[in-house]
Amino acid sequence: MAKKTSSLRFQPSGGSKAQQVPVGKKLKLHIERQANDGRGIGFNEGRTWFVSGALQGEQVEARVLAAHGKVVEARVERVLEPSPARRTEACAHARACGGCSLQHMPHTDQLALKQRMLEEQLSRLAAIQPTQWAAPLVGPELGYRRRARVAVRWDPAARHLAVGFRASASQDIIDIEQCPVLVQPLQPILQALPSVLRSLEKPQAIGHVELFSGDSNAVLIRHTSALSEADLARLSSFCSEQAAQLWLQGKDDPQPYVADQQLNYRLEQYNLMLAYRPGDFVQVNQPVNDAMVAQALDWLVPQANERVLDLFCGLGNFALPLAQRVRELVAVEGVDVMVQRAKHNAQMNGLNNTHFYQADLSKPLSEADWAVGGFDAVLLDPPRDGALQVVKQMKALNAGRVLYVSCNPATLARDSAELQQQGYRLERAGILDMFPQTGHVEAMALFVRQ
């Protein structure tokens, strides 16, 4: 007897699941507007496409990188009808490399995009706008990065060492020997680096390389196993030819190949020199960093009789210039090694009115001895997570002025709402173009107690 079949088709209670857009699929799209991070936005069959490398008004062929429900992440494969605003990228690798995402966009448009992002975050998350918008703080469009991390990967099958930067939305490495956003002193080092690394007896021992430029140039070699004497000699000779210090890092902290070598950068306007080591946080853009410090002092207006607090002080980038102008400077940092570095920098520059402390700034300040007595003004420069716990306690610090330097407009907006609740008015705000050619936004905001 033949088995009966049913014409009924059963589906899960939630209905049929929409088929996901496959990675690698190409589609022609019209770009209707620009996202806050600079990607173009297009729509197709109920899905929103975020397309890197696309400008508003363009017709493009986009290639899918990832898809999540109704959101598709893609990048431009071909520009079919370009926008009049599109410009030729300064770097031949710009569309593949993950370092720069906005080289095709005029710099004035990049600044407008970043300004709009800051305005929208403050309005949407905090329902707040400053009394005064400051002009964007800008520097050179290219040739600004004074440090960079170079990716390295050994392919045992091809016996090839890839040396360059990570591809956009990928772990692939783009072989790069020139990078227009690096400062000029690092250009010849980057250009010659692949050749010397590939000449090593054991190139597979190299994990990654970092380049630094300050008073001296430096090359940090991160190695996953011991380097032979011959390879160390090659690397040392290479760095000598490039007039750069050689630093090595295995399992422990970075160490100079030649003992007692030191890296420094200067804040020329204040006749200050700050020592640092590979791994320490140093702003990558010296011209904008110099302008940022100057603007911070201009906005905060520190007075000779005041006691000022610098939170998340790092190496002392803001603390040392502030200390030159006030009676007492208290600086706090969560990482003890950075506290020691900042103390050393203050002593090296002859500043005796500074006090540095290590503290977990996500915890209450009520038991902190350094917080007793209050402050006339506070400067804070937190990481991307922001400083919500600190700003919740700002009223207790009794500061009349608070200067907030942010690398994340979303957490700045969140913390601004809290400061407003505590009676502070957002007096002034503006963007800092620390990373031209990217969608990354930094900002500065001044709050005054009402």
pLDDT tens sequence across 1-58: 444 444 444 444 455 556 788 998 999 999 999 999 999 999 999 999 999 999 999 9
Q: Which amino acid is at 186?
A: L
- Which one from 126, 197, 403, 407 is the annotated catalytic residue? 407
Q: What is the pLDDT of residue 17?
A: 58
Q: How many CB atoms lie within 10 A of CB 175?
A: 12
Q: What is the pLDDT of residue 318?
A: 98
CA separation for the pair 39, 31 (Å, rounded): 10
Tokens of 180: 């227009």
Report how far apart the first and last C-alpha atoms of the chain are (Å, whole number). 90
Which of helix, strand or coil describes residue 401?
A: strand
Tokens of 183: 């400062």
Q: What is the pLDDT of residue 18?
A: 60
Q: If you write DSSP's letter for every residue of 49-80 in order, what string do you get? A: EEEET--TT-EEEEEEEEEETTEEEEEEEEEE
Tokens of 98: 């993950």
Q: Is 239 annotated as a binding residue?
A: no
Q: What is the mean pLDDT of each run of 10 residues along the chain (450 residues)?
A: 44 57 93 94 95 96 93 94 95 87 96 96 95 97 96 92 86 86 96 96 95 96 96 97 97 94 96 96 96 98 97 97 98 95 97 96 84 94 95 92 97 97 97 97 96
Cα 234–Cα 235–Cα 239 angle in degrees, nearest 5: 120
Q: How many CB atoms lie within 10 A of CB 100?
A: 24
CB-count exposure of residue 250 (10 Å: 0-12, 13-18, 19+): middle
Q: Is 312 annotated as a binding residue?
A: yes
Strands 244-249 and 377-380, sheet pairing: unpaired
Q: Is 283 annotated as a binding residue?
A: yes
Cα 190–Cα 194–Cα 195 angle in degrees, nearest 5: 115
Which of helix, strand or coil describes residue 147?
A: strand
Indicate the Cα dihedral angle 300, 303, 306, 307, nearest 10°: 50
Q: Is 333 annotated as a binding residue?
A: yes
What size, in residues, is the chain?
450
- Best CA proximity match to 110, nearest among 142, 76, 75, 73: 142
Q: Is 360 annotated as a binding residue?
A: yes
pLDDT tens sequence across 100-139: 999 999 999 999 999 999 999 999 999 999 999 999 999 9
Q: Is 179 annotated as a binding residue?
A: yes
Q: What is the pLDDT of residue 20?
A: 82
Tokens of 89: 């990228």
Annotation marks residue 239 as catalytic = no
Prediction pTM value? 0.92
- Best CA proximity match to 262, nearest among 250, 271, 254, 272: 254
Indicate the Cα dihedral angle 24, 27, 28, 31, nearest 10°: -80
